[in-house]
Amino acid sequence: MNDSPGWATPGSTPSDGERPGTDGGAQQPSTPPAQPEQPARAEQPKQEQPAQPEQPAGDPKWSAEQPPPGQWSSPGQSPEAPQAQPQPTAGWGQQPAGPYGGQYGPQYGYPGGPGQWGPPPAAKPGVIPLRPLGLGEILDGAVATMRTHWRSVLPITLVVATLVQVISVILQKFMLDDLTVATSEDVSTEEMIDTLGSTLATSAVVQFIQVLGTIVVTAMLTMVFSRAVLGQQSSVSDAWRESRPQLLRLIGLTLLLAFGAILLGAVLILPGILADNIGLGIVGFLVWLPLLIWLGVRFSLASPALMLEKSTVLKAFARSSKLVKDTWWRIFGITLLTSVLAFFISMMIVAPFQFIGIIVFGGGLESMEAGSDMGNWGMLVVPAIGLIIAQTIVMPFQSGVTVLLYVDQRIRREGLDLELARAAGLENYGTTGG
């Protein structure tokens, strides 16, 4: 017999009483009547057993009648006795008795049987399964939320993107109305500085408005995605009500990140500029850029941590740093891929609108090179329409990936799947493998 724990012999092996040199080997209970004890097979004439199949040499202890294949019985059980039906699988770690009459191990089944190799599928109450996620599952979860919960996602992004672009177009119209780019050689230095300063000021104001709009969208979409993980619907009013208490903190977190990036760049790059040393400035930039990327990825999960854990700004930074630790490259790769996809989607949408604005309202490429009609309403409105469409698609996609990355890291490190299962109403999840 095999003494391994949780295992039983798959065949009908002889009992201890049937082994050579032991008593009781003549017959065993509940089996067909044993044949009279006979001399060795070599001395027994073959004509006396015309109906018996030929037995292998050296195996006199096996019965002449064997049960059909696939119905092996346990030792001491008659071949005619009905086999016990396998019990249904009770869950992960509790496999039923197999067809061989034995109990397989607590974590393994047998190929093709009720207990398959490996763990059972994870529960999926919402857009993602409650287990550590792969890249495809994160991207698919973000797209599935946009598709399934579009009644909540679309109004949020469309309204915010429209407001941002309307304000941006109005500001650009009045700030760039009198701005022309002179191309003649007699342009003075003051005119060049004024032109550059006006352009940078306009860009800074527009970017600031877009950042504020992105913060609002991120705050509200975080709540939508958190409910989508549980398979629950979320209206626009619900998302606004849940995100509003943390909105000011999210604005502070975003501004703090921007201020930190600018301050870091000033410390590393500004000395080279002030010293009129181009080489020192380039070295400072080469140090600033990778450091900025490293810090950006390390604090990339601060926004969902702030919104979903109702924490403070500093605690959100600490939580993000803890969740990203030892998985920086994975999160960097997923974030980079998401940014590249978002960029190409935006370009595919915005580029045709910009081309139409230049050709129809801007007087062609020659007029654009001359710097005229930069404040033309058509040149501003048509590309803004493309930006509204692009941001309506891109913003929820990027926000969804960030939220699902946060959920994935908490599942891997803190067992958040158990809490999510209970919140989704899955009873006894994690106790019996359900």
> Can you say whether the dihedral through the CA atoms of 217, 218, 220, 223 is positive or negative?
positive
Q: Give Cβ neighbours of residue 381 (< 8 Å, ≥ 6 apart).
A: 169, 357
How do residues 365-404 score in pLDDT, each as one tens digit?
555 555 555 567 778 889 999 999 999 999 999 999 999 9
Residue identified by tokens 């501003």 is 380
12 has a pLDDT exceeding 50? no
Rounded to 10 degrees, the C-alpha dihedral 290/295/300/302 comes to: -170
Question: Average of pLDDT values for 423-434?
Answer: 69
Say how many Å lie between the first and final Cα of the chain, rounded: 34
pLDDT at 323: 96
pLDDT for 432 equals 53
313 burial via Cβ count (<10 Å: 0-12, 13-18, 19+): buried
C-alpha–C-alpha distance, residues 430 and 190, integer Å: 71
Compute the average pLDDT of residues 78-107. Answer: 43
pLDDT of residue 195: 67
Q: Which amino acid is at 98?
A: G
Task: Tell me the two tokens of residue 283.
Answer: 């070295």
Number of neighbouring beta carbons within 10 Å of residue 302: 28
State residue 274's pLDDT score.
86
Helices 377-414 and 416-423 meet at what angle, rounded to 10? Answer: 110
* Tally of CA atoms within 13 A in the half-sphere of 361 that contains its CB: 16
Residue 212 is predicted with a pLDDT of 86
Tokens of 137: 């599952």
Q: How far apart are CA 161 and CA 387, in angstroms?
A: 8
Map residue 344 onto helix, strand or coil.
helix
More confident residue, 427 or 27: 427
Residue ranges of the domains in the chain? 153-423
Percent pLDDT > 90 in the chain is 44
Burial class of residue 428 (count of CB atoms within 10 Å of its CB; 0-12, 13-18, 19+): exposed
